[in-house]
Structure 1
Amino acid sequence: MKNISIRLIATLATSTMLGACANTGYSNPAGSQPYPSTGQNYPTSSQPYQVSYGTVESIQLSPATASQGVGAGAIIGGVVGGVLGNQVGSGSGRTAATVAGAVGGALAGNEIEKRRDGVQRNQYQIGVRLDNGAYQTVVQDNIYDLQVGARVRIQNNTAYRY
């Protein structure tokens, strides 16, 4: 009986993880044309392509913010903790141990993932006075060879010296 429940939990965990990988964003109904017909208008992007020019007025170093999402570490930790917790006790004690193991495993897995991804890179806030008089702040991971007073081109929210 114990061996069957382990297999059942492992099968459920595997199917849950694989189900999370399913791509439901695209469906191609039977009989539909796989390519657009001629003369079809394509939608425009939500943000237009824009290039601005200006002069760097300030460069400030700021620590990057860590992501706060729950990732694969918590999911895998919860599954492993639940399986290990299920090995302890019997009856309602086993159920409590399984729940406690799943919660503890999820917390531990999440913490391990945070520490692994926790290498914080510094980011630079670059203040640019645009040629039209407006002021724009660009945040990027590297300043390359930028310095205060340098002429820059801002393209896709990244400042480049020119």
Structure 2
Amino acid sequence: MKASRTFMAAILATSAILTGCASNSSQPYGGGYSSNSSSVSQGYGVIESIQVAQADNRTSGAGAILGGLVGAVAGSQIGSGGGRTAATVAGGVAGAAVGNRVESNRNAGGQEMYQINVRMDNGEYRAVTQDSAYDLRVGNRVRIVDGRVYRY
């Protein structure tokens, strides 16, 4: 019974630590243009430039959670009493750090993204970052719908 409470405490401590490691950034490149791709916007314009950018090397947190669990289990096998509790928590934290690093290394390089800079009909510039620029070329007449660029 006491071991399961210790194990649950280690899991809660690990998940609390990992919550601060999450990233919600969706813009891998910041350019010099205003970016309204996160809001629901529509409009027409002409593509001024297309730049290739590497997305952030983000992690989902699954590696850290799995590493934390494995570390907590391994730590709970060491010592007895208060020392076992400390080893369980330390094992969970160390396992989470190692698991996060392993996941980060697996995702090295990031996804290739395209920053499409558009001169809108009203004269403003917008930078839209998306995962594909398949049929888009500089000079194309385009429309922006819900933060994505489409040929018009």
**Shared fold (TM-score greater than 0.5)?**
yes
Q: CA deviation at 1:106?
A: 1.1
1:64 aligns to 2:55 (yes or no): yes
Alignment TM-score, normalising by the size of structure 1: 0.64
Question: Deviation at 1:5?
Answer: 4.6
Structure 2 unmatched ranges of 5 or more: 17-38
| SS state at 2:129 partner | strand
Shift of 1:145: 0.5
Superposed, which structure 2 residues align to 1:135-154 within 5 Å?
135-154=125-144
Could you say if the C-alpha distance between residues 6 and 126 of structure 1 is closer, same or farther in structure 2, counting changes exceeding 3 Å? Answer: same
Q: Which runs of 5+ in 1 are unaligned?
A: 21-46
Q: Deviations over 1:32-60 (max 9, x none)?
A: xxxxxxxxxxxxxxx5x532111111111
> Cα distance, 1:150 vs. partner?
0.6
**2:96 aligns to what?**
106
Q: CA RMSD in A?
A: 2.8
Q: Identity of counterpart residues, as a percentage?
A: 51
**78-87 or 146-155, larger mean C-alpha shift:** 78-87
Give 1 or 2 for the bigger CA radius of gyration: 1
Aligned twin of 1:155: 145
Match of 2:70 in 1: 80
Q: TM-score, normalised by structure 2?
A: 0.68
Q: Give secondary structure in 2 for the equivalent of 1:97.
A: helix
Determine the C-alpha separation between the residues in 2 that align with 1:96 and 1:51.
56
Distance in 2, Cα, partners of 1:131 & 1:141: 24
Aligned residues: 126
2: distance between equivalents of 1:143 and 1:85? 49
